[in-house]
Amino acid sequence: MRHSEFHRAHRIGWLRAAVLGANDGIVSTSSLVIGVAAAHADLPTIIVTGVAGLVAGAMSMAAGEYVSVSSQVDTEQADLNRERKELAENHHHEVNELKAIYIDRGLEPELAQQVAQQLMAHDALGAHARDELGLTEITTARPLQAAIVSALTFSLGASLPLLMVMIFPHLPLAHINQIIIDNTRLDTMPLIATVGSISLLSLMLLGGLSALTGGASVLKAIARVTFWGTLSMVITASVGFLFGTTSG
């Protein structure tokens, strides 16, 4: 019989890259926009800064994921090559290695010997990759997939706070104290509050969806992303207020 049960662990590879990309896109872009707004920049400057952050962040995520996951692939291949050499040079020792592993997992020595011999007769390298090195199809590194997923999800995440900045002048809140005209510290607060609120709601939704997809605790996931998202926005806003320009 073929194993047909569904397990969420099969989603680990792309889910990690997707959540990391979207989360980073929301947090970094919203924090960047809030920091620049707190520095009393005008609306076009804030928009250009947000777009530049989106493009640079997406490329950085793609490059970073590809390089880091490629390094993991190189390490995995080096370990597999070593196992191939050991299997060719000392097959008996490799059987005993698997036997010891299975004994540690609870099998009787005679049964462990039989299991090791039969698995190695079927696929020696696969048996050692799985049981000695811990490498499986689920955990296999995929650099290109990670790079593409990270770049796309980062762009999607970053577009949320950026979109709020672009449509903000058309919202009723934008006309309180003539935000678009006056560059005072008080006038920037509605924009900062709007972008921050929407970004935090997006992070909470992302955390909840990722937890549901992975079968984890929704409340814990939401609490994590909310805490770190809020901390990032508060710090960058503080930097903007401290080092921002003042109107003449």
Residue 22 in any domain: the answer is yes
Domain with 58, as residue range(s), is 15-77+152-243
- Count the domains in the chain: 1
Residue 120 in any domain: the answer is no
Residue 68 to residue 21: CA distance in whole angstroms: 14
Residue 121 in any domain: the answer is no
Residue 2 in any domain: the answer is no
Instruction: Return the structure tokens found at 134.
Output: 């811990």
Residue 53 to residue 30: CA distance in whole angstroms: 10
Residue 84 in any domain: the answer is no
Residue 111 in any domain: the answer is no
pTM over 0.75: no
Structure confidence by residue, pLDDT tens digits, 185-206: 445 777 888 899 999 999 998 8
Residue 99 in any domain: the answer is no
Do the beta carbons of residue 236 and residue 31 sit within 8 Å? yes
Residue 62 in any domain: the answer is yes
Averaged pLDDT in 10-residue chunks for the chain of 248 residues? 46 65 90 90 88 93 88 84 86 86 88 87 84 70 81 92 84 54 54 89 86 80 90 91 64
Q: E strand or H helix at 220, and its extent?
A: helix 218-243
